Structure formats: structure tokens, C-alpha cells
Amino acid sequence: MKNLLECVVSVICFCMIGMLLPDMGVKHGHAVVPEEITPLVKSKENGKIAYLTFDDGPSLNTMEILDILDRYHIKATFFVMGNQEPYAKKAYEEMKARGHAIALHSYTHDYSIVYKSPESFFLDLNRLECKLQQEFGIKSRMIRLPGGSNNLLRHQAATRPIINEILRQLTAKGYTYVDWNIDSTDGISPSISEQQIISSVQKGTKGQKHVNILLHDINSMKNTVKALPDIIEILKKEGYSFDTIDETTPKMQFN
Ligand SMILES: [Zn+2]
């Protein structure tokens, strides 16, 4: 409990320092890029960009996913959970070491805890932030809500006010929540075929300049791993370059 309190305090301090510091431009490696140069750095935003996003990891598939991404020299964004399994430690470390973006999803992913109340939501979220920060030095203010910001609970009268209040507080506390615009459908069930995952992504790209693709890093979802090389090949052929999501990425939110 003491550790949790210390961590919450340090997270708050970290945020306050961030708010007090002047805008120094975009950090690029060790150097700081002045404001005038940022449009050049961001010129690729005029082109087609694909953001591969993986929810729910780490899993037993993480290392294989990372190896595939390495093969294509692609960085992805992982919205992670709190996973205490022995294999997970290496997976968190490798995501970080290989330069991928690591953002927040949920510690427990248990709807009865996460969406019980705004207080319960932020306890779960802070628990994840503390784990990532203390064990791996990972800090993020980006979150993908379990089920997305427009999940089923938002369509039920009893839970709608809870989700709305969570979204309001996330923004007020300086978090950015990120949804997606292509559902690969891999999360529906492990029986969804490799081919269906590929064709869902391919259909979703029609007429889209920026594609934020929902994929899953879950033990049972082997077909996601099998589909990944083809998904990357198709996106490359369609002229997309790949990037990670950060606070400067154009917002992709359902509402
Ligand atoms: Zn999830």
C-alpha cells in the first residue's frame, strides 16, 4: 500500500512538472527540435500512415509479434495490461528495448472492477501505471479503454453515466484516450480465421489515409500472429508507412 501511495504521488508530481515546463518543441532523440522544424519532421502526416495497435498483452505471443515487426523494421503501439506471469517481464522489457510505444489499457481488464465506478477505474489504471513505472521505467498518459470508449456499457442506461464520467476525468487529468478505425475482428474469438483477420483489415483501409488497426496480443489468439505478415505486406503494397501513436498523433476517438 505504501508503494502504491508513493507511486501515485510520484505520478502526480511527474504530471505537475510536465505542466509547469514551457513547451520546448518536439524531442527527437537526445536533441530538441525547434518549433520551426517540427512541420518537416511531421511531413509524413501528409501521406498514408498505418498504426498497428495490440491490446491486452503481454502474452505468450508477444515475442513472436515483436520478431515479425523487427523483420519489417516496423514499430507498433501496445496497450498493455498488468500481467504477473513469469514470461511477461521479458515481454514488457523487449517491447521497450525494441522501441515500440507502450501505452495503458487496464490492469485487470475485469469490467466488474474497471467500470464499477470512476474511482474503481482510476485505481485499476494507477495500479497499472505504478507497475510499468516502478518495474520497467515506462510512463504513458495514453490509454485505450477496455472495449473502447464507445463500449457496450456506454449504451446501457445504468452504466452510461459512469463511462461518461471516466472519459471526462481522463481528459481533465491529462490522459489521451485512443480508439481505432479498423477492427481486425481477431478479438471476437480465437476461432476467427487468419484469412478473415486479413480481409477485415484490407476492407477497412478503403479510402482511409490514417489507419489505426485493432489487433490483440492474447495467448489464445494465434491467428493474429499468423495473419500479421500478410497484413503488413498488404498495407505496404497500398502505400502505407508505419508509425507509433503518441500524444501528437491525430486523435482517433469514437466520439
Ligand atoms: Zn482489451
Q: List the chain domain ranges.
A: 51-242
Q: How far apart (Å, rounded) are the C-alpha atoms in residues 208 and 205?
A: 5
Read off the pLDDT of each residue in 2-13 and give the average, rounded to a whole number. Answer: 52
168 Cα–ligand 1 center, Å? 20
> In the prediction, which pLDDT does 22 show?
36
24 Cα–ligand 1 center, Å? 34
**Of the candidates 106, 103, 100, which has an alpha carbon nearest to the alpha carbon of residue 66?**
100
66 Cα–ligand 1 center, Å? 19
Whether residue 59 contacts residue 44, with contact meaning beta carbons closer than 8 Å, is answered with no
Q: How many CB atoms lie within 10 A of CB 107?
A: 22
Q: Which amino acid is at 33?
A: V
Q: Is the pLDDT of residue 61 over 60?
A: yes
146 Cα–ligand 1 center, Å? 5
128 Cα–ligand 1 center, Å? 14
252 Cα–ligand 1 center, Å? 17
> In the prediction, which pLDDT does 8 show?
54
Q: How far apart (Å, rounded) are the C-alpha atoms in residues 128 and 132?
A: 6
17 Cα–ligand 1 center, Å? 31
pLDDT band at 3 (very low <50, low <70, confident <90, very high): low
125 Cα–ligand 1 center, Å? 13
215 DSSP β-pair partners: 54
Owner of C-alpha cell 515483436 = 66
> In the prediction, which pLDDT does 20 show?
40
> In the prediction, which pLDDT does 16 show?
44
> In the prediction, which pLDDT does 46 show?
54
**Of the candidates 53, 135, 61, 69, which has an alpha carbon nearest to the alpha carbon of residue 102?**
53
105 Cα–ligand 1 center, Å? 7
> In the prediction, which pLDDT does 49 show?
96
Q: How far apart (Å, rounded) are the C-alpha atoms in residues 55 and 53?
A: 7
Q: Model-level pTM?
A: 0.84
SS3 250: coil
Whether residue 11 contacts residue 174, with contact meaning beta carbons closer than 8 Å, is answered with no
pLDDT band at 247 (very low <50, low <70, confident <90, very high): confident
Read off the pLDDT of each residue in 216-220 and give the average, rounded to a whole number. Answer: 98
CB-hemisphere CA count at 13 Å for 130?
A: 18
Read off the pLDDT of each residue in 179-202 and give the average, rounded to a whole number. Answer: 97
174 Cα–ligand 1 center, Å? 21
Q: How far apart (Å, rounded) are the C-alpha atoms in residues 254 and 251?
A: 10
> In the prediction, which pLDDT does 102 show?
98
Q: Is the pLDDT of residue 15 over 60?
A: no
> In the prediction, which pLDDT does 189 show?
95
**Of the candidates 7, 2, 246, 1, which has an alpha carbon nearest to the alpha carbon of residue 126?**
7
Tell me the pLDDT tens digit for each residue of 138-185.
999 999 999 999 998 999 999 999 999 999 999 999 999 999 999 999
Q: Which CATH superfamily is domain 51-242 in?
A: Glycoside hydrolase/deacetylase (3.20.20.370)
> In the prediction, which pLDDT does 150 show?
92
Q: How many CB atoms lie within 10 A of CB 243?
A: 19
Read off the pLDDT of each residue in 83-99 and give the average, rounded to a whole number. Answer: 98
> In the prediction, which pLDDT does 6 show?
56
Q: Is the pLDDT of residue 39 over 80?
A: no
Read off the pLDDT of each residue in 188-203 and give the average, rounded to a whole number. Answer: 97
Q: How many CB atoms lie within 10 A of CB 144?
A: 25
Read off the pLDDT of each residue in 60-70 and give the average, rounded to a whole number. Answer: 98
